[in-house]
Amino acid sequence: MRVTWSRQAGENLIDIEDFIARDSRERAVRFVDALMDNAVVLLTENPRSGRVVPETGNPAIRELIYRGYRVVYRIKGDDLEILTVFEGHRLLRLKG
C-alpha cells in the first residue's frame, strides 16, 4: 500500500506544529513526526482500521484519531491518500 499526503494535509501539519511550538519547538516536532509515523504504519498494515467519516458516509473516506486529531484519508485500490489533519472536536468541512 502506497501512502501519500495531500497538500492540504501537509499544510495542516505545519499549522499544528507551529501551534504546539508556541510552547515547545521540540515537543511540536516530536508530535508531528509521531503522528505521521504512527498513521503511516497503522494504515499501511490495516487501511480499513479507521472509521468511516460520519460527515461523508463514504466507505472509502475514513479517519484515524491520533491524540485528539482527526487524520482523514481515502482508500483507492492500493493507494491511500491522507486528505487532511485537524483537531478532533471540529467537523470536516466538505467542499460543495
Q: How far, in whole angstroms, is CA 52 from its chain's centroid?
A: 13
User: Any idea where the domains of the chain sit in the sequence?
Assistant: 2-87
Residues 71 and 57: their CA atoms lie apart, in Å, by: 16
User: Under CATH, which number does the domain 2-87 receive?
Assistant: 3.30.2310.20
Residues 85 and 96: their CA atoms lie apart, in Å, by: 19
* Contact criterion met (CB below 8 Å) for 72 and 62: yes
pLDDT at 18: 96
Render 24-58 in DSSP notation, one character per residue: -HHHHHHHHHHHHHHHHHHHHH-GGGSEEPTTT--
- Per-residue pLDDT at 95 exceeds 70: no
The whole model's pTM is what? Answer: 0.87
Confidence of residue 93 (pLDDT cuts 50, 70, 90): low
User: What's the pLDDT tens digit per position in 11-46?
Assistant: 999 999 999 999 999 999 999 999 999 888 888 889
pLDDT at 44: 87
Average confidence score pLDDT of the chain: 89
